[in-house]
């Protein structure tokens, strides 16, 4: 019961796109109703003696360039001890929609992601969690050919480079789909998790957080 990495007095900040946002800016303020809230509730229930601060800075529709534009105010100024980043599926969707090749698009995306992580290393020394992106094609009638594996290979490289804990959500969803054929894990779009999908994400995060 004492293996959780987060200690009393520390701040844990989650940033990303709509999968992180989940209404945290309106009806479900301040943590949203997705995996972030599930993580915080489970930790609080299991470790009620720990006074941990949680911040959700997800914004629906965001891309890695959007994170970079708000990194100073939404991350650096918050000075978290722990930072979780979930970004990339909107970049993959944009690449597909614009018909840009992976060879041209992905290096630019990775360079931007590297810049914001380097700022964390240089200015905060916060410890990192990086989420894989995922696309549950089995939930979609006509799936899009998104290059998820290429983005995840990039995320794996960055996790190793910056000594981040890697949350392998793509692998977890694929395992879940294989184990329970026909069950939905997203809101039928392959991208946005339903309640079970958010719970899966939370559990994968908690594995890496020592819960």
Contact 173, 186 (CB under 8 A): no
CA-nearest of 90, 88, 83, 166 to 131 is: 166
Catalytic pick among 17, 21, 192, 198: 192
Residue 18 designated active-site: yes
Q: Cα(32)–Cα(23) distance, rounded to whole angstroms?
A: 5
Mark out the alpha helices in the chain (DSSP H runs): 18-21, 35-46, 64-71, 89-98, 102-123, 148-161, 169-179, 195-208
Q: Cα(67)–Cα(57) distance, rounded to whole angstroms?
A: 10
Catalytic pick among 17, 18, 84, 170: 18
Residue 170 designated active-site: no
Residue 189 designated active-site: yes
- SS3 label, residue 88: coil
**Residues annotated catalytic, as ranges:** 18, 189, 192
């Amino acid at each position: 019961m004492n293996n959780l990495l987060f200690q009393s007095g520390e701040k844990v900040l989650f940033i990303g796109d709509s999968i992180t946002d989940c209404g945290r800016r309106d009806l479900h303020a301040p943590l949203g109703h997705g995996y972030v809230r599930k993580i915080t509730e489970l930790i609080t229930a299991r470790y009620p003696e720990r006074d941990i601060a949680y911040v959700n800075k997800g914004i629906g529709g965001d891309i890695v360039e959007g994170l970079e534009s708000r990194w100073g105010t939404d991350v650096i100024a918050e000075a978290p001890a722990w930072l979780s980043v979930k970004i990339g599926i909107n970049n993959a969707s944009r690449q597909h929609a614009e018909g840009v090749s992976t060879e041209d698009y992905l290096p630019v995306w990775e360079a931007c992601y590297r810049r914001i992580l380097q700022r964390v290393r240089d200015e905060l020394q916060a410890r990192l969690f990086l989420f894989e992106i995922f696309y549950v094609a089995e939930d979609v009638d006509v799936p899009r050919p998104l290059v998820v594996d290429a983005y995840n290979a990039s995320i794996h490289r960055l996790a190793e480079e910056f000594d981040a804990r890697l949350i392998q959500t793509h692998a977890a969803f694929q395992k879940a789909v294989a184990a329970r054929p026909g069950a939905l894990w997203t809101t039928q779009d392959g991208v946005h998790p339903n309640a079970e999908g958010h719970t899966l994400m939370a559990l994968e995060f908690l594995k890496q957080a020592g819960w």
